[in-house]
């Protein structure tokens, strides 16, 4: 493969991105600053990074538990991915008006 800009040889370089297992293949010119990414491998890398951004997002209904208490359930996907068990402690914090952050207490084993 030749550089479309200066016709020099292109060197195949694997590009590593922090936090991703996949590597993207790029072709870099040895003379000028021309870089071309191989579509297939760079798409794979982008998909992997995207999947990490929102590992699990599930729509849930809030249910009424009693007069002034509301609750929600953890479905089995959440339970499995966090290894939750009944009786464990969690911390609930409200950083702003759109988020409820639940922190799982690390298991003491
Ligand atoms: Zn070039």
For residue 51, the CA-to-ligand 1 centroid distance in Å is 34
Q: What is the mean pLDDT of residues 40-46?
A: 89
Residue 7: the pLDDT is 95
Asked if residue 3 has pLDDT above 90, the reply is yes
Task: Give the strand pairing for 90-96 and 35-37.
Answer: unpaired
What are the Cα distances from residue 52, in Å, to 13, 102, 106?
A: 24, 19, 21
Give the start-to-end residue ranges of the domains of the chain.
10-53, 63-104
Summarize the confidence of residues 20-48 as an average pLDDT. Answer: 90
In the predicted model, what is the mean pLDDT of the chain? 87
In angstroms, what is the span from residue 2 Cα to ligand 1's centroid? 8
CA–centroid distance, 49 to ligand 1, in Å, is 29
Quote the pLDDT of residue 102. 87
Range 2-27 average pLDDT: 91
For residue 31, give every residue at least 6 positions away whose Cβ sits within 8 Å of its Cβ, in sequence order, or none.
Answer: 3, 6, 8
Q: What would the 3-class secondary structure string for 33-98 be? A: CCEEECHHHHHHHHHHHHHHHCCCCCCCCCEEEECCEEECCCCHHHHHHHCCCCCCCEEEEEEECC
Ligand 1 center from residue 26 Cα (angstroms) = 14
What integer pLDDT is reported at residue 26 of this predicted model? 94
pLDDT on residue 13 = 92
Most confident of the ranges 52-56, 57-61, 70-74: 70-74
Query: For residue 55, how far is its CA from the centre of ligand 1 (angstroms)?
Result: 40
User: What's phi and psi for 36, nearest 5 deg?
Assistant: -130, 135
* pLDDT tens digits along 77-90: 788 878 888 988 89
């Amino acid at each position: 493969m030749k550089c479309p800009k200066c016709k020099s040889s292109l060197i195949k370089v694997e590009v590593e991105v922090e936090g991703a297992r996949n590597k993207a293949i790029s072709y870099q010119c040895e003379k000028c600053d021309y870089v071309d990414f191989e579509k297939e491998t760079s798409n794979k890398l982008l998909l992997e990074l995207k999947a990490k951004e929102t590992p699990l997002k599930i729509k849930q209904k809030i249910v009424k538990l009693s007069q002034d208490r509301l609750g929600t359930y953890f479905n089995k996907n959440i339970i499995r991915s966090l290894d939750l068990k009944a009786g464990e402690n969690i911390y609930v914090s409200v950083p702003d008006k759109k988020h409820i952050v639940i922190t799982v207490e690390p298991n003491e084993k």
